[in-house]
Amino acid sequence: MSSFPNLNKLAFGKLLTTSKGARQIPILKEDGPLIWQPSDFLEIPFEPSNFSDKESSRVNICFAPTEEISNSVNLFESWLVKTLAKQSKELLGQEQTECQIKERFQSSLKTSEKGWTSFRAKMNITGRNAVRCWNLDKVQRSPPDCWRDCKVIPKLHFKSLYVMNKDLGLIIDVTHCMVEELDKQCPFD
């Protein structure tokens, strides 16, 4: 099992405003960016997409979470809420309790009305920050034509926390994927 980085070595940077006006709080680790690789291959139930802009190079990608993903993300998000509440005056401009932060926080683990849970991240499909894909022999390859027809081990960059008027949430970027193509079985006898 791939262990999640030590939470005691994490910190928040100062609140930033991007050139597009988005407010973000960087997540810092002592020795560089917070990048984590789950130990198991993950299934992708839906094709990555950006629902509001079909031509966008930045898409949402959903994974079927393993127990490792659920446990690690829940532990990290709990740390994030507690730490942000302690530093809320400095980072958000006003003191907020853990309960207030938790009410605003949008988890990366989502459960649908039908009870299906997914783990959501972002991925660039073109441009200089496009996801890089690798085969099982660790040779670079092109991205799959159909992401649902494969399993992946993603490298996840826990980049920052976005801050909106009412919402807070993680920005998690998929930077690399080890891709295992699944055999397509004919459904007919």
What whole-number distance in Å separates Cα of residue 168 and Cα of residue 76?
A: 14
What whole-number distance in Å separates Cα of residue 105 and Cα of residue 85?
A: 11
- pLDDT at residue 54 above 90? no
Q: Which helix (H) or strand (E) holds 81?
A: helix 67-86
Contact 61, 44 (CB under 8 A): yes
What percentage of residues in the chain have a pLDDT greater than 90?
A: 79
Contact 173, 128 (CB under 8 A): no
- What DSSP state is assigned to residue 30? T
Exposed, middle or buried by CB within 10 Å (0-12, 13-18, 19+), for 50? middle
Name residue 58's beta-bridge partners: 124
Q: What digits encode the pLDDT tens for the residues 95-150?
A: 999 999 999 999 999 999 999 999 999 999 999 999 999 999 999 999 999 999 99
N residues, the chain: 189
